[in-house]
Amino acid sequence: MNFTLKVWRQKDATSKGHFQTLEAKDVSPDLSLLELLDELNEELVLKGEEPVAFDNDCREGICGTCALVVNGQPHGRDYGSTTCQLHMRMFKDGETITIEPFRSAAFPIIKDCVIDRTALEHVIQAGGYVSVNAGAAPDAATIPVPKEDSDRAFAAAACIGCGACVAACPNASAMLFTSAKITHLASLPQGKVEAKRRVRAMVKAMDEEGFGNCTNIRACEAACPKHISAEYIARMNRAFLCASVS
């Protein structure tokens, strides 16, 4: 398979960026997009050129570090997966593929396709934890939790904090990410103790980091590699309202 890649290049956060056109020849359909970038970088290095900077870690669809927009879609066209799990067989032979970083004022570009997602960490630091003593694993098993609540908490906890929801949203909203973290903890007995303080603190941090608001377009839900439901946003809004008036 042969491809034309248009890859975003930017020296640093203050420099003006541009798309660089690269040709990929005789590509195996079983290669992932990141593996293709690895091969292209080897070629660039051999030519004495600067390799493309991009973020990655586990390459197993778990960490969400591979924050790339592929042909206008966060993580690419393979629904329910991260960029590292996007394989070249998903594209047509001869296709032009545009690769760029997640776009958001809250995600400043460090270099090329590497972004700074510290803003999401600040939201977590504001309240994405349980301060009560939850005990060891055997102790947790002694606290009965309704199955509906445990299922909801488990589904919300699947969020990997990749930021695809922010990149997909025209408002650059982080409400799907924030609501997933809030729902995860508020659904369990150990998280109910400080639920009101948590939702106020995390929403405040989200706003301070410059993320936009939700207008129910649900592009976040469509782009999420872990199928996080936009239902959690409604839950967070209700919890925030109750916490603000009580």
CATH code, domain carrying 88:
3.10.20.30
- Decide which of 67, 90, 111 is a domain's last residue: 111
* Structure confidence by residue, pLDDT tens digits, 181-235: 999 999 999 899 999 999 999 999 999 999 999 999 999 999 999 999 999 999 9
In this prediction, residue 135 carries a pLDDT of: 76
**What confidence category does residue 141 fall into, taking pLDDT thresholds of 50, 70 and 90?**
confident
Q: What is the CATH number of the domain that holds 190?
A: 1.10.1060.10
DSSP 3: E
Give the C-alpha distances (Å, rounded to integers) separating 139 from 133, 148, 226. Answer: 10, 21, 29
Mean pLDDT of 17-45: 97
pLDDT of residue 71: 97
The pLDDT score that the predictor gives to residue 131 is: 85
Rg (Cα) of the chain, in Å, rounded? 20
CA distance 216 to 233: 9
In which domain, by residue range, is 153 found?
117-245
Contact 85, 79 (CB under 8 A): no
- Number of domains forming the structure of the chain: 2
**What's the pTM value of the predicted model, to 2 decimals?**
0.92
